[in-house]
Amino acid sequence: MAGEEINEDYPVEIHEMLKTMMSVSRNELLQKLDPLEQAKVDLVSAYTLNSMFWVYLATQGVNPKEHPVKQELERIRVYMNRVKEIADKKKAGKLDRGAASRFVKNALWEPKPKNASKVASKGKNKH
C-alpha cells in the first residue's frame, strides 16, 4: 500500500497520527518495557487503531456494528482481559509457607506443663 493510496482511502488526519506514532522506533520503546508492558502497548495500539477505523466507518455512513472491525475489537478486548488477569496474578500476594507456619505456631497458646518448667530450671543450674 503506497502513501498515496492511504491518503485516498483514509483521512489525512489518520495518516498524520500514524506517522507520529511510527516516528519513535518501536524497538526503542519495547526495549524499555517488560513483556507484560509490551503486550499492553501492542493491545492499546491495536485497539486505538481499530476504534479510529470504527469512527471513520461511522462518518462514512457504514454501520460499524455489521463490519468485521467489531469482531476485531471484541477479540482485542478478550486479550486485554487476559493481560489484566496476568497482571493481577503478579500483584497478588504469595504465601510463604515457612513464615505462615511460624506465625501460626507462635500465635497458638500452649500451656507449659508444670514439670517441664522445673526440668528447664534444673538444666540451667547444672551448666
pLDDT of residue 3: 45
**Is residue 58 in a domain?**
yes
**Is residue 103 in a domain?**
no
**Is residue 38 in a domain?**
yes
The CA–CA distances, whole Å, from 122 to 46, 111, 118, 127 equal: 76, 19, 6, 9
For residues 70 and 63, give the distance between their C-alpha atoms in angstroms, rounded to a whole number.
10
For residue 5, pLDDT beyond 60: no
74-125 pLDDT, tens digit each: 999 999 999 999 988 888 777 778 888 888 888 777 777 777 555 555 555 5
Rg (CA), the chain: 31
Residue type, 7: N
**Is residue 111 in a domain?**
no
Mean pLDDT (whole number) for 36-42: 87
Domain around 75: 25-90
Confidence of residue 20 (pLDDT cuts 50, 70, 90): low
What is the share, in percent, of the chain residues with pLDDT greater than 90? 31
* pTM to 2 decimal places: 0.56
**Is residue 73 in a domain?**
yes
For residues 116 and 108, give the distance between their C-alpha atoms in angstroms, rounded to a whole number.
18
**Is residue 100 in a domain?**
no
**Is residue 18 in a domain?**
no
For residue 7, pLDDT beyond 90: no
For residues 18 and 53, give the distance between their C-alpha atoms in angstroms, rounded to a whole number.
12
Higher pLDDT, 70 or 38: 70
Please count the structural domains in the chain. 1
**Is residue 11 in a domain?**
no
- Burial-class residue 76 by CB neighbours within 10 Å (0-12, 13-18, 19+): buried
